[in-house]
Amino acid sequence: MHLIETTTTRFQSIEVWQSPQQVEFRVEQAVHAWWHAQHFLTGLAWDNIVASAMLHPGEPPRSILMLGLAGGTTFRALRHLLPDAELTAVDIDGELIDLARKHMRLDELQCEIHIDDAYAWIKRCRRRFDVVIDDVYLAGKTDVYRPGHFDETLMMQLKRLLQPDGMLLTNLVRGAGHRALQTQVRKLYRRHFPCVKEVRTPEGLNETLCGGNAISGTASLQAWHSCFPSARDRAFWERISIRRLPNLS
């Protein structure tokens, strides 16, 4: 891959790396978004989020809201699996979205995009969704971080957006420097939802928490296995792990 463009937005400096088959947006040497001409999965955090959305109980989700779209890596896989779903996204960085339109074919996903502070936007939103994905991170000088506070107030604002059988998903970075937040968000999920599951990939440094009244299990993911045309993607899909967290005593 070779560097073809560098853009500094109000929020981050983005390097665009390209090969004949793929594009990466890199922020502080980390891959921030990814697109490939033939593949949908990566073995990393995006796969966790995609798989979590497909654990919606009963019918597949018909409406999905994503807070923190970036280059659209997650939505590209979800659009492949759910061609008729209503996809809505909020991202604060309009210049990043423009880059994704230019280099990652974002417009082909036919999603509704709002350029706004995601947590301010949800306060005004009066719609409800089958799945709400909270992937709000900003790039710091040495690591990513979550703006604001993930507390009771935010949890109630997020839950208000859910359909009665809806699920809330939160992408969390694991490891040093992130454990306190991970513990806090896990406690909030277990306090607010009857069923909470974590979804991970073996090499990933993230987990996706999934909360709802009911959440499907590993068997439901197997139904989507054949939807991926490449053996590489199918292998990544098979390695996704799901674990139910114990209820608070």
Tell me the pLDDT tens digit for each residue of 85-129: 999 999 999 999 999 999 999 999 999 999 999 999 999 999 999
Tell me the pLDDT tens digit for each residue of 180-208: 888 899 999 999 999 999 999 988 889 99
Distance of CA 133 to the CA centre of its chain: 6
- Among 247, 241, 195, which residue's Cα sits nearest to residue 218? 241
| Model confidence, pTM | 0.95
All structural domains of the chain with their residue ranges: 40-244
Q: How many CB atoms lie within 10 A of CB 202?
A: 9
- Locate all alpha helices (DSSP H) within the chain, ordered by sequence: 45-53, 73-81, 94-103, 118-124, 152-159, 179-192, 218-222, 231-238
pLDDT value for 141: 57
Given a contact cutoff of 8 angstroms between Cβ atoms, the answer to whether 68 and 144 are in contact is no
Tell me the pLDDT tens digit for each residue of 131-159: 999 999 776 655 566 777 789 999 999 99
Q: What topology does CATH give the domain 40-244? A: Rossmann fold (3.40.50)
